[in-house]
């Protein structure tokens, strides 16, 4: 039986519902899938859309990644959020960014189920590539919630691939925030390479992801980090991919790739200081697809991620990601049906083109400092990783 080119696993209600003006916003992945549908991507040959599993991932499957005591605590605060006022809730990461609410455990575990389903399709050969656009929580630890999520969905996808019998899985994190949870969960596991390109932890949450973080004692060379300076833009991401990500992943030779495709480095995103633009994103997706085709026969599990101006970068970026994964060409103008849906969702002036973007205001001094900082960041990463991956030696 010929495998699918792409399986898309999604349901509009997926995601966390913290409320109270919390930065998480389901419109970002809802409008992305709406554009996939309006642009004909989901109807292309070899593509299948599948509603996410209606059930939460069972505790025994979650426990392949997370501490049983942590899962019990999340169930407890989910069932009775008033208990989250007790001091020990903080040790589990509940409070602040991750406030408890009824159904919290179920929401997060159902997102994990969607990501697990996508990974399982690739692991079994049902699909060459799979996309779960509502997934991508990457800060959570094995025993603590962090960063707008409860359970770490990227780690779940990786673990499903490992449990299928794969011996090497590469994880590539393009989000503006360091993929700290995923890195630390697998820091001593030589089967998993974690690669993260992000704004430096000197300036942005979670305060980690420096070049010296290259893997634990049991897995040297299993982590790679490019920590970019504030106001780095498109060229910085292109260089990070070409000079670090691609050669390191080639050297690791994985059997499958998992990517977190956050676009919160966009210049209009309110939660970072980087200034990438819409034309960059199709380039990133093309590079990732070519890399997967080269090193692991195309096996690729893609998840969403950050993007906190929900009607700006994420919808078009993730629909373009689906198009690249499906091998579908898309063309301007954007479908008018989708533009109307964007108006209904709150966008006053929806874009006409896939990569339409006025870009950041020019600033010669800012861009010079960012370019110099990018030179240093990439050099530091290449020096740190060169003893494990000769192809990146400066």
Confidence of residue 21 (pLDDT cuts 50, 70, 90): confident
Domains for the chain: give ranges and CATH numbers: 4-392 (3.40.800.20)
Query: Mean pLDDT score of the chain, rounded to an integer?
Result: 97
- 273 and 188 Cβ atoms separated by less than 8 Å: no
Q: Which of 29, 105, 139, 265 is catalytic?
A: 139
CA distance 305 to 299: 20
Dihedrals φ, ψ of 319, to 5°?
-70, -40
Tens digits of residue pLDDT in 222-237: 999 999 999 999 999 9
pLDDT at residue 170, rounded to an integer: 99
Q: How far apart are CA 354 and CA 331, in angstroms?
A: 7
Q: 191 vs 171, 188, 254, CA distance in Å? A: 11, 9, 9
Q: Which residue bears the tokens 């925030």? A: 177
- The whole-number pLDDT of residue 337 equals 98
**172 pLDDT more than 90:** yes
Provide the whole-model pTM: 0.98
Render pLDDT for 123-165 as a digit per residue (tens, 0 to 9).
Answer: 999 999 999 999 999 999 999 999 999 999 999 999 999 999 9
pLDDT tier at 329, thresholds 50, 70, 90: very high
Buried b or exposed e, range 230-248, using 16+ CB within 10 angstroms:
bbbbbebbebbbebbbbbb
Going by C-beta distance under 8 Å and a sequence separation of 6 or more, which residues neighbour residue 363? none
Nearest C-alpha neighbor of 172 from the set 237, 235, 116: 237
Q: Is 138 a catalytic residue?
A: no
CA angle 242, 35, 277 (to 5 degrees): 35
In this prediction, residue 20 has a pLDDT band, given cuts at 50, 70 and 90, of confident
Answer whether residue 1 shows pLDDT above 80: no
The reported pLDDT for the residue numbered 198 is: 98
Q: Tell me the two tokens of residue 305.
A: 């991620």
pLDDT at 96 over 90: no
Q: Is the dihedral of CA 70, 76, 82, 83 positive or negative?
A: negative
Is the predicted pLDDT of residue 250 greater than 80, yes or no?
A: yes
State percent of the chain over pLDDT 90: 98
CA 50/CA 107 separation, integer angstroms: 18
Instruction: Give residue 9's pLDDT band: very low, low, confident or very high (50, 70, 90).
Output: very high
Structure token digits, residue 102: 């009824």
């Amino acid at each position: 039986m010929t495998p699918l080119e792409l399986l898309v696993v999604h349901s509009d209600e997926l995601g966390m519902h913290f409320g109270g003006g919390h930065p998480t916003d389901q419109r970002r992945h809802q409008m992305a899938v709406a554009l996939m549908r309006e642009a004909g991507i989901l109807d292309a040959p070899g593509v299948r859309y599948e509603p996410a599993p209606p059930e939460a991932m069972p505790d025994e499957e979650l426990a392949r990644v997370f501490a049983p005591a942590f899962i019990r605590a999340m169930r407890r605060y989910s069932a009775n959020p008033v208990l989250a006022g007790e001091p020990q809730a903080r040790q589990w990461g509940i409070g602040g960014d991750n406030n408890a609410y009824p159904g919290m455990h179920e929401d997060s575990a159902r997102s994990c189920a969607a990501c697990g389903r996508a990974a399982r399709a690739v692991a079994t050969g049902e699909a060459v590539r799979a996309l779960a656009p509502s997934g991508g929580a990457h800060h959570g630890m094995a025993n603590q919630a962090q960063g707008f999520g409860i359970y770490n969905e990227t780690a779940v996808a990786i673990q499903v691939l490992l449990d299928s019998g794969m011996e090497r899985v590469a994880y590539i994190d393009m989000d503006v925030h360091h993929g700290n949870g995923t890195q630390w969960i697998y820091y001593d596991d030589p089967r998993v390479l974690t690669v993260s390109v992000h704004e430096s932890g000197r300036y942005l949450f979670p305060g980690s992801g420096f070049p010296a973080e290259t893997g634990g004692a049991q897995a040297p060379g299993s982590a790679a980090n490019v920590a970019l300076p504030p106001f780095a833009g498109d060229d910085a991401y292109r260089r990070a991919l070409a000079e670090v990500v691609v050669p390191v992943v080639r050297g690791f030779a994985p059997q499958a790739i998992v990517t977190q495709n956050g676009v919160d480095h966009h210049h209009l995103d309110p939660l970072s200081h980087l200034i990438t633009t819409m034309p960059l994103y199709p380039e990133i997706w093309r590079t990732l697809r070519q890399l997967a085709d080269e090193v692991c026969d195309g096996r690729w599990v893609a998840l969403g991620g950050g993007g906190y101006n929900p009607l700006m970068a994420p919808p078009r970026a993730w629909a373009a990601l689906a198009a690249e994964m499906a091998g579908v060409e898309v063309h301007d103008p954007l479908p008018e049906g989708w533009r109307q849906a964007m108006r209904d969702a709150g966008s006053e002036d929806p874009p006409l083109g896939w990569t339409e973007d006025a870009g950041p205001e020019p600033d010669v001094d800012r861009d010079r400092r960012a370019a110099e900082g990018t030179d240093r960041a990439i050099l530091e990463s290449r020096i740190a990783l060169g003893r494990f991956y000769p192809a990146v030696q400066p």
